[in-house]
Each structure stands twice: as structure tokens, then as C-alpha cells.
Amino acid sequence: MHEQALMFAVTFATFLLAGVVKGVIGLGLPTISMGLLALVMPPAQAAGLLMIPSFVTNVWQLAIGPRLLPLVRRLWPMLLGICIGTWLGAGFLAGGNGEIATTALGVALMLYAILGLSRFGFAAPARGEPWWSLLAGAATGLISAATGVFVIPAVPYLQALGLEKDDLVQALGLSFTVSTVALAAILARGGILQGSLAGASALALIPALIGMACGQWLRARARPDTFRTLFFAGLLVLGAHLALRGLF
């Protein structure tokens, strides 16, 4: 009973914090949730808990933008690639490779944090964009299937397309939504996303939404750049810890 109460408290606090970060900077809910929950449970179980909060918050993010259909027409090769890559990597996260999955998750978080702290940027070539989008989506899907995190290379690639701010936020929501659905499909097929875990994922939506509301309130009163730096610095430490724990 004590262990169940502790797990509930950890899950509630994790999704509350992740929601706050997403409310302030527009991303980070899956990344923080996976990183923190993987400290106390297998990555596959953490990914299952993430499904409903991730889906609902990302649908919310993509729905409030003004250009959904033009973005779908432009980004459909990337979205297709995400589905293909997730399907190809389906056996990894759902296959019980706990230590390897934890190490892969740690490495993915570290890479994402380093890119965020360095503010590394590049411009995607306009020529052959559909093929680049397909490759970026497939790589994102493979990494998502291995780690439960779907930000690499999707986020840097979408930033490299030179989208307007509102379009970028909506494109991120679109990419994350498709990644969530694809990941949920392989978790369900692997027998991980079952009734009890799905119910717990639905409950996790409550602190995530509360956190998002708090984060949006905080965004008007805090400096997002400072918040972003602290977010990536913390992610780097967390990723290093997970990578080392998975190895040793």
C-alpha cells in the first residue's frame, strides 16, 4: 500500500512538472515524463503512462493553430516516416530490454539537451524536402520506438524548415500527436498498454492539464529563455544519470 501511494505521488508530481514546462515553452511533456518515470519504473511502462496525457495535450496544441491542413499537406512524408520508423522499431521498447532501453533513453535525452543548450540550428534544403521529411520522420519513429521519446530529430528538423512561430508550434503538435498514436499502437500490440495502465494514463492527464494551465500563467510572468536553459540543463543531468544507470 505504501509503495502504491509513493508511485502515485511520483507520477502525479512528474506530470504536474512536465505540464508546467510544456505550458511555458510549448514542449517537454513527453521528454520530462519519460526521463523522470524511468527512474522508478521500466521505460515501456513509463511510455504507457504517457500516452493519454501526451495525446490530449498535443491535440490541443495542434488544434489551436490556424494552418493545420496546409501543414499536413507539407509534412505528410514526415508523418508517414514516423509511422514506418515506429513500426520497424516495434520490438525494442516493448521487448523487455530494460537496461538497453534505459541507456538509449538517457543518450537521447542528453543529445536533445546538448542541442537545446547549444542552440544549434541549420536550414533544411528546400530541394528534395519530401525525402528529407521522410528520413527525419523515420529516424524519429525508430528513436521513439526505442526510447519512448519523439523529439529527435523531429524538433530540430521542424525548426530548420523556417516555419513561422505559430506554424512551428502547430507542426510540433502534429508531429507529436502522430508519434503518440504510433507508439501507443506498438505498445498495445506488445501487450503493455492494457486496461490498468490505460486507466492510470487517463488519471495522469489531470496533473498534466493542471501543470499546463500553471505554465501558461507563468509564461506571462517569467522569462522563457531562462526557463528553457534550466530545462535543458536539468535534462542533460537526468539523461546522463539514466545512461550510466543502464550501463552499470
- Range in 87-101, 116-130, 161-175 with the lowest mean pLDDT: 87-101
- Please count the structural domains in the chain: 1
**pLDDT score for 131:** 94
Query: How confident is the model over 110-150, as pLDDT tens digits?
Result: 988 888 888 766 677 778 899 999 999 999 999 998 888 88
Helix 29-37 / helix 224-247 crossing angle, nearest 10 deg: 30
* pTM, entire model: 0.85
**pLDDT score for 247:** 66
Q: Is the peptide bond before 153 cis (omega within 30 degrees of 0)?
A: yes
Q: What is the mean pLDDT of residues 146-170?
A: 87
Cα separation, 174 vs 59, in Å, equals 7
- Range in 17-21, 23-27, 69-73, 175-179 with the lowest mean pLDDT: 23-27
What is the residue range of 230's domain?
2-247
